[in-house]
Amino acid sequence: MKTQNLVSLLANQVEGVDARRAGRRLLMSWAAGTMVSVLLVAGVLRFNSALPEVAQRAMFWVRGGFCASLALVAVVAVGRLGRPAARLALVPVGLVLPVVAMGLLAVVVLLNAPAHDRVSLVLGHTAFACPWLITFLAAPPLIALTWALRGAAPTRLHLAGAAAGFAAGASGALVYTLHCPELAPPFFATWYLLGMLIPAGLGALLGPRLLRW
């Protein structure tokens, strides 16, 4: 086929496109994936039975806010990385700030704690399960975000995959707060972050394979 004929083919009866479609598709799929994670907590991990009482504690909301802010910024990053030549601008700052803030809070808590309590503040009771359960809960949003990116045009596939993985990890962590009993900042600054980084690494590895177009 000659290029001119291809041009005719593409232009023939061309449909208008809505510039907001990509953004809508991203948000819808992210919300759907995260809802599936909530169902996984409800059905498999179970909600924390002390949730009504725990939700009265400020640290419950600090923990949730930490996850939610990272999820939000990372979803924005996914949206930008799906558009050729879009700039990330302040996105890296938005990712670093909550992590640094939580790290500082964790350090302050540790410094104020008696020396013999410090190890248990970091490890809690569930440290070794935590990152893997978050990774498990990150799977539905990761699948959903990958699907959304496949409908966009990412040109940096490792980075787009990593962003999708991190967004999924942060969303999974947010949902995990409904199950997790740990409220000490040294705990979640460490293990929640690790739980977000595992899917991020997975996304970076799989990006070039899954996101090519």
Question: Residues in the site for another protein, rule: CB under 8 A?
Answer: 1-4, 6-19, 21-22, 82-86, 152-153, 155, 212-213
Nearer to another protein, 10 or 58 (CB): 10
Long-range contacts of 116-122 (CB under 8 A, 24+ apart): 118/186, 121/184, 121/186, 121/187, 122/184, 122/186, 122/187, 122/190
Nearer to another protein, 79 or 185 (CB): 79
Please state the closest distance from residue 152 (CB atom) to another protein, in A.
5
Both tokens of residue 101? Answer: 């803030």
| CA nearest to 71, candidates 147, 145, 151 | 145
Please state, in angstroms and rounded to a whole number, the distance separating the CA atoms of residues 42 and 192.
19
Please state the closest distance from residue 10 (CB atom) to another protein, in A.
5
Nearer to another protein, 21 or 125 (CB): 21
Please state the closest distance from residue 78 (CB atom) to another protein, in A.
13
Nearer to another protein, 160 or 193 (CB): 160
Please state the closest distance from residue 144 (CB atom) to another protein, in A.
18
**Around Cβ 55, how many Cβ atoms within 10 Å?**
13
Residue with tokens 């990150």: 138
